[in-house]
Amino acid sequence: MKVTRKPEWIRVKMQGGQTSNKVNSLISDLNLNTVCNDANCPNQMECFQRGTATFMILGRNCTRNCTFCNVTSATPDNVDEMEPINVGKAVSVLGLRHAVITSVTRDDLEDQGANQFRKVVEEIRKSSPKATVELLIPDMQGREDLIDIIIDAEPNVLNHNIETVPELYDTVRPMAIFERSVELLRYVKEKKPHMATKSGMMLGLGETKNQVVDVFKTLREANVDMLTLGQYLRPSMEHLPVVEYVTPEQFDEYKEIALSMGFKRVASAPLVRSSYFAEDLSDII
């Protein structure tokens, strides 16, 4: 059954103000992108009010065709050589304690953007040496040589979202492979045991409770440290419909189950997104 009406708990209170305008102006001046705007995140105004943003590098256009995502899949942009320096400037000007960097998927590039991630980490270390850095990366097609480039830059947190249960991958993530994403997370923890790892899921796409819990088990077997769970919200009529609005009580239950399995930190609520209050979730590092 397709659900169309949003319940009260999913409605977002609009926010704005001087701090929000400052963040937007800075992003525009430095020719940067944020996942907050491009993925139409429901929390963007709240985060902007707190002076935080998740920077999206490597352009605005993705080479994948995930059916849940609001990021466009037009012709990919040229890689901006100034982008790492500008991200470093933005992190410094905003005074971020914890900087989150993600990207579109760039299967078209020889290194799929791995070196751009590395350069961004290096520039943040120069401009804001006390800031911790979280990278939310694509699957890099499972190539360990590219993953090594990224993790050898020593980000504090390596995040890669599993997004949904494997039974729904053909519909939700047709160009991704569940096992490949799990192996990426496993590889990072084996190669860098000190590095915190993180993954996230969207709920409400038709998954069952047993399927969700099975993903928890799989992620824990890969020694993933942190988990985020949030409600899938349909960006447009061109995207997958919402099958179910998961209740706050069910999110609370999932959190308790995940914590009991050994996850060190779990954020689980309808409006949680991968980088929402990431600085608080990452206090284990």
- Count CB neighbours of 106 within 10 A: 24
pLDDT (mean) for 273-282: 61
**Is the CATH number 3.20.20.70 carried by domain 13-281?**
yes
Instruction: Please report which confidence band the pLDDT of residue 23 belongs to, taking 50, 70 and 90 as the band edges.
Output: low
The pLDDT value recorded for residue 48 is 46
Sheet holding 132-136, edge to edge: 33-34, 54-57, 98-103, 132-136, 157-159, 196-203, 226-231, 265-268
- The chain-wide mean pLDDT, for the chain, equals 84
pTM listed for this prediction: 0.85
pLDDT digits (tens, 9 = 90+) for 81-131: 999 999 999 899 888 888 889 988 788 889 999 999 999 999 999 999 999
Closest by Cα among 69, 43, 228 to 134: 228
CB atoms within 10 A of CB 31: 10
Please, where are the H alpha helices in 43-111? 44-49, 83-94
Name the residue ranges covered by the structural domains of the chain: 13-281
Closest to 248 in 3D by CA, of 229, 233, 263 = 229
